[in-house]
A and B are shown apart, each in its own frame.
Chain A
């Protein structure tokens, strides 16, 4: 079994196959995403300056092509004289980390709850879905504010609070899928073959919701990044001076009429990344469907 799947992986990993599987990939979003991930992981090594270094003498430098700009600080400096480019680069790490961890946690919990509730039905279903309703009806931003004021702001706390509010969305949509899939004759035939409930959920139900799971996840990347930026914007996210896109935009708002780029640049970064995840997710959805796969 293990050797077989290893062999399958190595066969899949050959170069012509990779090239073929990338056929039709939307290049622009892919480049943005690769850039986002690389910069997010190696941000501290790539940043030209220390993102935390304050130098009041060079505060509010404009973009490099504007009057008074310099190539040493191509995207200018903020109100404390910190290099904007470096802060953008390092700030992407926060967005990457938060979105990946939150998606992983929320998708796992959501898929588990959806499969168990949808397949078993009965009181298990009722209890889990009422829990979903309760969480979805709570105002997450207010709870996040309260939570942050009790345990303090920080990346870990953002991840916890966003995970709690992200999984019910998965659970609700995926449960509907499970209800549809379990009506299929192949599930009935699995029962006839003597498959246990666990086996049916794992081998028959779960593989058929992966598609939807991926689509929701890619759409969620955008909203998680936005949520993190929003929390940082209102000051309960990443604590200063650590750079985060949302906090940078918040800092820049005060200078919107004079140094507009301070707020616009992090905004553009957020828009590019969110848009790219959505486009890539759409492509991935088509690719993952075996009906479209011709390998």
Chain B
């Protein structure tokens, strides 16, 4: 792995659950993210997969400083993000951008596309009006939109085009990291590949890092160098993407991969179905989070929370089996 851009160290986010109107009684916490550590290299993509509600998006929001950390630290370019302020914070805001899932909700309906794309640059200051115009024209071309798109309103575009606008906006301030939170889930299947290829090309050209959050495992495999699998607020497996698909070690990862559609309809595969439901991350019991659903559960699994440890070179698993 090359130079490190982002390092998350034991990151935690608990949402307190209270009862009462004036005197709050603390009932417990929803542990949305509970001790997650990973790194994102410069110019690389880190994939984050897992089912709905497992804490992927909360992790992204913590990096975007939309939520405050309950514990742990996130380092960006060697600096603690929770201590940024003033010009440093502004610089950070310009270097970390995001593309969200729903392209209909992520563009302000009453702003012209040019204004939407320019906003991060305008807020960042430092560039003249003409410089901003050139920059917008540049990114609009980069994402494959027509130049006159600048003058139009978002409702005049289709979903795929809107996502291109969102990407152009994310690129405008020349960021080092772009958080892609399910960037293609809301799009037509026929458009998905186009957008993913666009993102891939942009990365090749600009050397920007991605944090890619997705349901679609094929997308993550195609895009990311390293993939992390999350389950109930914890990273259960982190490994290079190719290796993850060839040799998944954690029981949850195995079940997740077996649930994905095969690339060919005739392909015969064994499908692993985990019994039971996902329990809630509200005041979780000690021990492995998967204990009650795991096919290989042993007594130790209900007592000790397995730490994420390196079982072979670059392959991290949080499981007592390994």
User: Once the chains bind, are A204 and B120 in contact (CB under 8 Å)?
Assistant: no
Asked, given contacts A199-B123, A208-B108, whether A290 binds B102 with beta carbons under 8 Å apart, the answer is: no
User: Once the chains bind, are A194 and B110 in contact (CB under 8 Å)?
Assistant: no
A150 interface residue per 8 A CB criterion: no
The minimal Cβ–Cβ distance linking A245 to chain B, given in whole angstroms, is: 38
User: Once the chains bind, are A188 and B119 in contact (CB under 8 Å)?
Assistant: no
User: Once the chains bind, are B93 and A208 in contact (CB under 8 Å)?
Assistant: no
Instruction: State A185–B124 Cα separation when bound (angstroms).
Output: 20
List the B residue with the shortest CB-CB distance to A211. Answer: B110
B100 interface residue per 8 A CB criterion: yes
User: Once the chains bind, are A208 and B98 in contact (CB under 8 Å)?
Assistant: no
A189 interface residue per 8 A CB criterion: yes
Instruction: State A188–B98 Cα separation when bound (angstroms).
Output: 10
Q: Which of B98, B110, B173 has the most CB of A within 10 A?
A: B110
Instruction: State A146–B211 Cα separation when bound (angstroms).
Output: 65
User: Once the chains bind, are B97 and A186 in contact (CB under 8 Å)?
Assistant: no
User: Once the chains bind, are B107 and A186 in contact (CB under 8 Å)?
Assistant: yes
Instruction: State A204–B111 Cα separation when bound (angstroms).
Output: 8
Q: Which residues of A contact B166 (CB under 8 A)?
A: 189
- Contact among B100, B129, B155 with A189 in the assembled complex (CB-CB below 8 Å): B100
User: Once the chains bind, are B110 and A207 in contact (CB under 8 Å)?
Assistant: yes
B89 interface residue per 8 A CB criterion: yes
Instruction: State A61–B173 Cα separation when bound (angstroms).
Output: 76
A192 interface residue per 8 A CB criterion: yes
Chain A residues 175-200 with CB under 8 Å of chain B are 184-186, 188-195, 199
Chain B contact-residue range equals: 20 to 34
- Contact among A188, A194, A207, A210 with B123 in the assembled complex (CB-CB below 8 Å): A194
Instruction: State A293–B110 Cα separation when bound (angstroms).
Output: 11
Asked, given contacts A185-B106, A186-B107, A290-B110, whether A192 binds B173 with beta carbons under 8 Å apart, the answer is: no
What does the 1/0 interface line of B62-104 toward A look like (CB < 8 Å)?
Answer: 0011100000000000000000000001100110111011100
User: Once the chains bind, are B105 and A186 in contact (CB under 8 Å)?
Assistant: yes
List the B residue with the shortest CB-CB distance to A294. Answer: B156
- Contact among A193, A194, A290 with B153 in the assembled complex (CB-CB below 8 Å): A290
List the B residue with the shortest CB-CB distance to A207. Answer: B110
Chain A residues 256-295 with CB under 8 Å of chain B are 290-291, 293
Asked, given contacts A185-B100, A290-B153, whether A193 binds B105 with beta carbons under 8 Å apart, the answer is: no
Asked, given contacts A207-B110, A290-B110, A290-B155, whether A194 binds B90 with beta carbons under 8 Å apart, the answer is: yes
User: Once the chains bind, are B97 and A192 in contact (CB under 8 Å)?
Assistant: yes
Instruction: State A1–B128 Cα separation when bound (angstroms).
Output: 12
- Contact among B111, B123, B129 with A193 in the assembled complex (CB-CB below 8 Å): B123
Q: Which residues of A contact B98 (CB under 8 A)?
A: 189, 192
B144 interface residue per 8 A CB criterion: no
User: Once the chains bind, are A184 and B123 in contact (CB under 8 Å)?
Assistant: no
Q: Which residues of A contact B97 (CB under 8 A)?
A: 192-193
Q: Which residues of B contact A199 (CB under 8 A)?
A: 123
B314 interface residue per 8 A CB criterion: no
Q: Which of A188, A193, A207 has the most CB of B within 10 A?
A: A193
List the A residue with the shortest CB-CB distance to B154. Answer: A290
User: Once the chains bind, are A191 and B108 in contact (CB under 8 Å)?
Assistant: no
User: Once the chains bind, are A184 and B105 in contact (CB under 8 Å)?
Assistant: yes
Asked, given contacts A186-B106, A189-B98, whether A195 binds B169 with beta carbons under 8 Å apart, the answer is: no
The minimal Cβ–Cβ distance linking B265 to chain A, given in whole angstroms, is: 35
- Contact among A192, A194, A208 with B109 in the assembled complex (CB-CB below 8 Å): A208
Instruction: State A194–B129 Cα separation when bound (angstroms).
Output: 19
- Contact among B93, B108, B110, B124 with A192 in the assembled complex (CB-CB below 8 Å): B93
Instruction: State A186–B129 Cα separation when bound (angstroms).
Output: 23
List the B residue with the shortest CB-CB distance to A187. Answer: B108
Q: Which residues of B contact A290 (CB under 8 A)?
A: 109-110, 153, 155
Asked, given contacts A185-B102, A188-B66, A190-B119, whether A204 binds B108 with beta carbons under 8 Å apart, the answer is: yes
User: Once the chains bind, are B120 and A193 in contact (CB under 8 Å)?
Assistant: yes
List the B residue with the shortest CB-CB distance to A186. Answer: B108
Q: Which residues of A contact B101 (CB under 8 A)?
A: 185
Asked, given contacts A188-B100, A189-B169, A290-B155, whether A194 binds B93 with beta carbons under 8 Å apart, the answer is: yes
Chain A residues 30-45 with CB under 8 Å of chain B are none
What does the 1/0 interface line of B121-132 toward A look like (CB < 8 Å)?
Answer: 001100001000
User: Once the chains bind, are A192 and B64 in contact (CB under 8 Å)?
Assistant: yes
User: Once the chains bind, are B155 and A194 in contact (CB under 8 Å)?
Assistant: no
Instruction: State A194–B173 Cα separation when bound (angstroms).
Output: 11
The minimal Cβ–Cβ distance linking A7 to chain B, given in whole angstroms, is: 12
Instruction: State A192–B95 Cα separation when bound (angstroms).
Output: 10
Q: Which residues of B contact A291 (CB under 8 A)?
A: 109, 155
List the A residue with the shortest CB-CB distance to B96. Answer: A192
Pairs A-B, 7 closest by C-beta atoms: A194-B93, A185-B106, A193-B120, A207-B110, A185-B105, A186-B108, A185-B100
List 15 other contacts, CB 8 Å, given A189-B106, A192-B65, A291-B155: A1-B129, A184-B105, A185-B102, A185-B105, A185-B106, A186-B105, A189-B98, A189-B166, A189-B169, A190-B119, A192-B66, A192-B93, A193-B120, A194-B90, A194-B123
Q: List 15 A-B contacts (CB under 8 A).
A: A184-B106, A185-B102, A185-B106, A186-B106, A189-B166, A190-B119, A192-B93, A193-B119, A194-B124, A195-B119, A195-B123, A204-B108, A207-B110, A207-B111, A208-B110
